[in-house]
């Protein structure tokens, strides 16, 4: 549902109701925690990432409305559904006015609860994606443009200028964190379409059953919950540019629908019988080798050639280490201003260490590293003491294993290294998993999944 399994908190002072909802929700595939009172529920919200809360309105001492107000402070992105007894809907309506997503009246039907939960989580997914895109747009407008004077980046700039003048579809490839969306925006801004919309969507971040509606729109009544007609992103971007990030994650059925849109320059909303003309330039991006996906039968060849008329490949940061000082100085200025710190730059020894680091997370990892250093420093110049051990000790890591006649276990080496970084991040943050995830530049859900996968014991010191 979300990135991994959605986590739901059930709050009710009646044990039988808590147990019933826990069993039902676990059967539906959700991760469930429970609380018998508001204070315990708030503790869960502070310590963990809760996607949705189902809370009774009337409880001893504090009510569901109290929980709603507290949740708004400690976990504003969490969605709340309130449950109220028959004949006492006034309190539920008051909760709705304070921001609750919906309410149910006891006794309720499980099918009714199932639909309300699904719609609430769909809303959370789309809201999160919109916030991400708005944040990236704000960042871009503040001057965080493509930066680099290396020969590799000069080639990228030249190609951006060339393709911007055409109407041709472009495929931007490169590892995660290399700045593919920034390149797509740069192409759009240098094109004749720059006065028209630039619309971006991450095809890997939205469930398949929602993605078709997001791309092509839907008519009223097309499916449960489609209470009104909705314009899709193809229509929203008409006249401008549509950026399809992580295009390699698109399912085969949606690849077929995308092919039709590319060939015919028309789309059909879900549930509709009418075709609509759209004038959209497609820029797509992937960190996969799509030619390999095509060869393996996971990606349609005809779609690949429609998208890959011109390919622009972004170099990883390790292949343009001469750009590291320029990028670092830029990020220092950005975060010194954001965090109100008097930070002037980095010691020469820091650049020496960074130039020898592989940067698996590329420019995004460098940005996170600089943000962390600026946040922690108390002096104008950042020293090596503010670099994480994963960076300062990185030169020793490749020497830990050598290929011999007996061979090595690559999966075990990678797993061991990943585990050491997870433990190190937890140690640095004194067990705070959310902070540790931020240090590693990954989402909290991804961090929790990796802990479980590697069977690393969760810290109980809080989040």
DSSP bridge partners of 2: 4
> Is 134 among the domain residues?
no
Query: What gap in Å lies between CA 153 and CA 230, rounded to an integer?
Result: 40
Query: What gap in Å lies between CA 234 and CA 188, rounded to an integer?
Result: 15
SS3 243: strand
pLDDT (0 to 100) of residue 417: 76
Query: Are 219 and 333 contained in the same domain?
Result: no
> Is 364 among the domain residues?
yes
Query: Are 418 and 349 contained in the same domain?
Result: no
Question: Over the stretch 145-159, which tens digit does the pLDDT of each residue have?
Answer: 688 888 889 999 999
The mean-pLDDT minimum among 14-18, 74-78, 181-185, 189-193 falls in 74-78
pLDDT (0 to 100) of residue 304: 94
Query: Are 232 and 263 contained in the same domain?
Result: yes
13 close to 36: Cβ distance less than 8 angstroms: yes
| Selection from 35, 428, 207, 456 nearest residue 448 by Cα | 456
- CA terminus-to-terminus distance, the chain: 23
pLDDT (0 to 100) of residue 310: 92
| Selection from 144, 164, 175, 157 nearest residue 337 by Cα | 144
> Is 159 among the domain residues?
yes
Query: Are 258 and 273 contained in the same domain?
Result: yes
Query: Are 461 and 436 contained in the same domain?
Result: yes
Provide CB contacts within 8 A for 406, sequence distance 6+: none
pLDDT (0 to 100) of residue 125: 77
Query: What gap in Å lies between CA 84 and CA 91, rounded to an integer?
Result: 8
Domain boundaries, position 374: 317-400
Q: Into how many domains does the chain fold?
A: 4
pLDDT (0 to 100) of residue 3: 45
Query: Are 412 and 394 contained in the same domain?
Result: no
Q: Which two tokens stand for residue 367?
A: 């940005």
Q: Which two tokens stand for residue 1?
A: 């549902």
Backbone phi, psi, residue 148, to 5°:
155, 140
> Is 130 among the domain residues?
no
pLDDT (0 to 100) of residue 294: 93
In this prediction, residues 225-236 reach a mean pLDDT of 85
Query: What gap in Å lies between CA 80 and CA 8, rounded to an integer?
Result: 10
- Tell me the residue length of the chain: 463
CA torsion, ordered 455, 453, 421, 462, to nearest 10 deg: -70
* Residue 190, preceding peptide bond in cis (omega within 30° of 0): no
Query: Are 444 and 417 contained in the same domain?
Result: yes
Q: Looking at residue 421, which CATH number applies to its domain?
A: 1.10.10.60
pLDDT (0 to 100) of residue 33: 93
Q: Looking at residue 355, which CATH number applies to its domain?
A: 1.10.8.60
Query: Are 350 and 238 contained in the same domain?
Result: no
């Amino acid at each position: 549902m979300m990135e991994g399994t959605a986590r739901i908190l059930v709050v009710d002072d009646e044990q039988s109701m808590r147990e019933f909802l826990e069993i039902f929700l676990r059967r539906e595939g959700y991760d469930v925690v429970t609380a018998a009172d508001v204070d315990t529920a708030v503790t869960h919200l502070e310590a963990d990432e809760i996607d949705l809360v189902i809370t009774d309105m009337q409880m001893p001492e504090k009510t569901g409305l109290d929980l709603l107000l507290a949740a708004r402070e400690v976990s504003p992105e969490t969605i709340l559904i309130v449950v109220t007894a028959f004949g006492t809907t006034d309190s539920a309506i008051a909760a709705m006015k304070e921001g609750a997503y919906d309410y149910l009246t006891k006794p309720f039907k499980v099918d009714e609860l199932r639909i309300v939960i699904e719609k609430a989580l769909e809303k959370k997914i789309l809201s999160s994606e919109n916030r991400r895109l708005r944040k990236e747009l704000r960042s871009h407008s503040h001057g965080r443009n493509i930066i680099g004077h290396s020969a590799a980046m000069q080639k990228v700039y030249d190609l951006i200028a060339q393709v911007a003048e055409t109407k041709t579809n472009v495929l931007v490839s490169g590892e995660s964190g290399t700045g593919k969306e920034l390149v797509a925006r740069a192409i759009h801004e240098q094109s004749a379409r720059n006065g028209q919309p630039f619309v971006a969507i991450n095809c890997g971040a939205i469930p398949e059953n929602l993605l078709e509606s997001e791309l092509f729109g839907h008519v009223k009544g097309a499916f449960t919950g489609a209470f009104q007609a909705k314009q899709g992103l193809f229509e929203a971007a008409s006249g401008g540019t549509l950026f399809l990030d992580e295009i390699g994650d698109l399912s085969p059925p949606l690849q077929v629908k995308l092919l039709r849109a590319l060939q015919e320059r028309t789309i059909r909303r879900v549930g509709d019988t009418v075709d609509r003309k759209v004038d959209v330039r497609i820029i797509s991006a992937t960190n996969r080798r799509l030619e390999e996906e095509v060869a393996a039968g996971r990606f349609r060849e005809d779609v690949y050639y429609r998208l890959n008329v011109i390919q622009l490949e972004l170099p990883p940061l390790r292949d343009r280490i001469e750009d590291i000082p320029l990028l670092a100085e830029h990020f220092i200025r950005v975060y010194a201003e954001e965090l109100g710190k008097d930070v002037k730059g980095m010691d020469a020894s820091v650049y020496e260490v960074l130039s020898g680091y592989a940067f698996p997370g590329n420019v995004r990892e460098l940005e996170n590293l600089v943000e962390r250093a600026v946040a922690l420093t108390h002096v104008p110049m950042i020293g090596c003491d503010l670099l994480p051990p994963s960076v300062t000790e990185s030169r020793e890591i490749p020497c830990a294993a050598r290929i011999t006649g007996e061979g090595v276990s690559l999966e075990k080496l990678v797993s061991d290294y990943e585990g050491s970084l997870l433990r190190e991040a937890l140690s640095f943050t004194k067990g705070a998993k959310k902070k540790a995830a931020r240090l590693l530049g990954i989402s909290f859900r991804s961090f929790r999944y990796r802990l479980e996968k590697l069977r690393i014991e969760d810290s109980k010191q809080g989040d």
